Amino acid sequence: MRPGRLKELNKHPRKNKAVIAFERLKSSIRAKVEHPFRIIKRQFGFVKARFKGLRKNDNQLAMLFTLVNLFRVDQMIRAWGG
């Protein structure tokens, strides 16, 4: 939902409780989905796709998402002090 529309909903939180909860759910899912793409773009430098072969692009993205999983596990292990 657009920020201006959401701001209007927040003026009457009791009336719009369900809509506000649904928007919060959508934003939390969006944040979880966008995080791996940020890691791929920033850590691994994958900004542009090479369209010479769709299979090559698919394989490269599959490898990058695997690396993202390993990267996140490494971050969690370091956060635990391991």
- Model confidence pLDDT, tens digit, residues 9-48: 877 877 888 888 888 898 899 888 888 888 888 888 888 7
56: which residues sit within 8 A by CB, 6+ positions away? 50
| Number of residues in the chain | 82
Q: Is the pLDDT of residue 7 over 80?
A: no
CB-count exposure of residue 18 (10 Å: 0-12, 13-18, 19+): exposed
Q: How many angstroms separate the CA atoms of 24 and 6, rounded?
A: 10
pLDDT for the residue numbered 56: 83
pTM score, two decimals?
0.59
